[in-house]
Amino acid sequence: MTAPLFLLDAGALAGVAPGAEVAFTGAEARHAAASMRLGAGESVLVADGSGARASCVVVDAAPSAVTVRVESLEHDAAPRPALVLVQALAKGDRDLMAVQASTELGVDAVVPWEAERSIVRWKGAKAAKAHQKWEDTVRAAAKQARRARVPEVRPVVSGTAVAALAGPDRLLLVLHEDADLGLGGLPDADLEAAAEVALVVGPEGGVSPAELDACTAAGAVPVRLGPHVLRASTAGPAALAVLQHRLGRW
């Protein structure tokens, strides 16, 4: 079984070499020592969330602080193209389900989208709390998947402003049941030329005509996943799986 992973502060592994000892505190230490009851001699992984991951052995474990000795280090380079999930806000935590699964499947960033047909709305103080919930979900899923990189949760976008995510080196793909082009039929050259590939997933009521028009006018490509209509919680992860295979990562 793969050793459990604990996330350190960004940059915490910079300059660290095999043989060095690293300590972590707070929630990660309590999880390791109190919840998992890890003790001296057990193997763990630690990562700084930005690509560095170390295989370690526990030297001392207490709920207040855990000290580990670094056995080896590796660094996961930032992939190109980066894969981004633009997930419409959805009721019943279906948006969070999509974000969690997408993180486990290797997404590099997520963008909350308050689409025209989204029932859920982020307003006032609720917006900051909801954004934090997405960040917590991403962090927990990255730990579960033993990822060295924690996906970025970008600022929320609203309505037709989602079209601004398209650009010269950013390929914006809008998942739409009426699209003529299947995701599997997207030319390899289009994927290889992009620095970033973003998947736009609509809410329960779908992407509005105005949003679709704005996206296509900005250069986005409507694509479909197949003959079935998927929930807001499953469309994004399913599309990411296809792209990971297309890019040769799986």
Distance CA 144, CA 73 (A): 19
Distance CA 220, CA 208 (A): 15
Cβ distance 208 to 95 under 8 Å?
no
Computed from CA positions of residues 94, 100, 105, 106, in that sequence, does the dihedral angle turn out positive or negative? positive
CATH 2.40.240.20 fits 5-75, yes or no: yes
Walk along the chain (250 residues) and give the pLDDT tens digit of each residue.
Answer: 689 999 998 888 988 999 999 999 999 999 999 999 999 999 999 999 989 999 999 999 999 999 999 999 999 999 999 999 999 999 999 999 999 999 999 999 999 999 999 999 998 888 999 999 999 999 999 999 999 999 999 999 999 999 999 999 999 999 999 999 999 999 999 998 999 999 999 998 899 999 999 999 999 999 999 888 888 899 999 999 999 999 999 8
DSSP result, 133-180: HHHHHHHHHHHHTT-SBPPEEPPPEEGGGGGGG-BTTEEEEEE-TT-S
Is 16 strand, coil or helix?
coil
Distance CA 116, CA 37 (A): 47
Q: Do the domains 5-75 and 82-246 sit in the same CATH topology, yes or no? A: no
- Third-level CATH fold of 82-246: Alpha/beta knot (3.40.1280)
- What are the extents of the domains in the chain? 5-75, 82-246
